[in-house]
Amino acid sequence: MLKSFVDQNQCKGRTSTGLVASSEYDAKKEAEEFVREKKDKKCLRVRHIDDVIGKGVFALRDFSKGEFLLEYAGELLRFAEGRKRMKDYPLNLGSFIYLFSFKDKQFWVDGTYSKQKGKYVNDAAPKSKQNNSVMKILEVDGVPHLVLYASRKICKGEEIRYDYGEKNLPWRKKETKRDEIPKETKWKFNTLH
């Protein structure tokens, strides 16, 4: 596994360049290794937040902008099968299905039964302070994978969040109070085009 070259003081108010020389750290190469191994970084932890949000993923160390975080792992599905599953999943199970386009075709990644941490990364509005990562498509051995990279410095203890790409999610409506969001709203319908 590649060593991460993070200045551990970067989130304590000191000036930092973040990553050392780019030749020493290759985020894409690190992502490919984790995807092939079907593993998550040990420096990320899934933790229960509350009964409305459910679980979230938290950093156990500082991350630099551009650093690979984790994969949104799951079963790769063709468009029709993914749409069928969206309809068939019971609300109490929750579904963690991500729609994306790759080489002019639409696919879904169904992370519902995945044991990896990516499915627990929560939504953040595009310009919110909570938004600290970005989802990208990474082709590994001819297969598309969804991976998250830090879009800014992430401090130890901070929750990892990214923009799901959907404007009309119930928790994004300003007039919606936290206790008005049904507890069954555990689905994650994400899009990446």
pLDDT at 86: 83
pLDDT at 9: 37
Mean pLDDT of all residues in 143-159: 98
- Burial label for 146, CB within 10 Å (0-12, 13-18, 19+), is buried
Residue 188 is encoded by which pair of tokens?
Answer: 């994650």
Q: pLDDT band for position 92 (50/70/90)?
A: low
Percentage of the chain beyond pLDDT 90 is 55
Q: pLDDT band for position 30 (50/70/90)?
A: very high
pLDDT at 51: 84
pLDDT at 94: 65
pLDDT at 165: 83
pLDDT at 125: 87
Mean pLDDT of all residues in 61-75: 97
Distance CA 109, CA 21 (A): 34
pLDDT at 12: 39
Write the CB contacts of 12 (distance below 8 Å, at least 6 apart in sequence): none
pLDDT at 13: 34
For the chain, list the domains and their CATH numbers. 27-192 (2.170.270.10)
Residue 119 is encoded by which pair of tokens?
Answer: 């499915």
DSSP 96-112: EEEEEEETTEEEEEE-T
Please state the length of the chain. Answer: 193
pLDDT at 90: 76
| Measured CA angle at 167 (ends 162, 169), to 5 deg | 85
SS3 percent helix, strand, coil of the chain, rounded to 5, is 15, 35, 50
Distance CA 134, CA 155 (A): 16
pLDDT at 174: 59
Distance CA 66, CA 46 (A): 21
Report CA dihedral (11, 15, 21, 25) to the nearest 10 degrees. Answer: 0
| pTM score, whole prediction | 0.77
CB atoms near residue 60 (< 10 Å): 12
- Say if CB 183 and CB 51 are below 8 A apart: yes
SS3 75: strand
Distance CA 154, CA 5 (A): 14
Distance CA 62, CA 11 (A): 7
Average pLDDT, the chain: 81
